[in-house]
């Protein structure tokens, strides 16, 4: 049997991008919800001290620390990982657009999408590449 290949039409690409965004946001929400439940189970009855501001722990200020805490099933780490997934969803959409435009052989849109992706990555790294 001959394998049938699907054409990379605009409608097909839009459906794929819609599915990518839907899955990304749903996965991020599920991870945040799970992390919130873990956090409440472990720290829900702890007293809150409002007179002194305490920022995030140092291990939750880097991607490697967030992943390490999430793999250890710490509530804050899971919540932060869900937020990272939420931020990564539109970046993945732009990266997928680059690939889709390349499959459609549309050089102008590949160039524009690559510029947008570069600006996103530059801004997400805080301007430190």
> pLDDT for 84-102, tens place per residue?
999 999 999 999 999 999 9
Q: Give domain status of residue 2, yes or no.
A: no
Q: Is the pLDDT of residue 2 over 70?
A: no
Residue 103's domain comprises 19-42+59-124
- Please indicate, yes or no, whether the overall pTM of this predicted structure exceeds 0.75: yes
Number of domains, the chain? 1
Q: Give domain status of residue 50, yes or no.
A: no
Residue 57: both structure tokens together: 């722990």
- CA 66 remoteness from chain centre: 13
Q: Give domain status of residue 107, yes or no.
A: yes
CA distance 86 to 26: 9
pLDDT at 6: 65
Please report where in the chains the tokens 């965004």 appear, as a residue: 21
What pLDDT band is residue 129 in, cutting at 50, 70 and 90?
low
Q: Give domain status of residue 110, yes or no.
A: yes
State the CB neighbour count (10 A cutoff) for residue 36: 15
CA distance 3 to 67: 40
- CA 93 remoteness from chain centre: 10
Mean pLDDT over 99-116 rounds to: 92
């Amino acid at each position: 049997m001959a394998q049938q290949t699907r054409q990379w039409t605009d409608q097909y690409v839009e459906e794929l991008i819609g599915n990518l965004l839907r899955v990304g946001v749903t996965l991020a929400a599920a991870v945040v919800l799970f992390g919130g439940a873990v956090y409440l189970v472990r720290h829900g009855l702890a007293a809150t001290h409002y007179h002194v501001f305490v920022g995030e722990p140092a291990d939750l200020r880097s991607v490697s620390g967030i992943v390490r805490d999430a793999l250890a099933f710490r509530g804050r780490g899971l919540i932060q990982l869900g937020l990272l997934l939420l931020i990564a969803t539109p970046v993945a959409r732009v990266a997928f657009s680059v690939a889709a435009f390349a499959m459609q052989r549309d050089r102008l849109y590949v160039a524009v999408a690559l510029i947008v992706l570069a600006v996103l990555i530059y801004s997400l790294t805080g301007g430190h590449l």
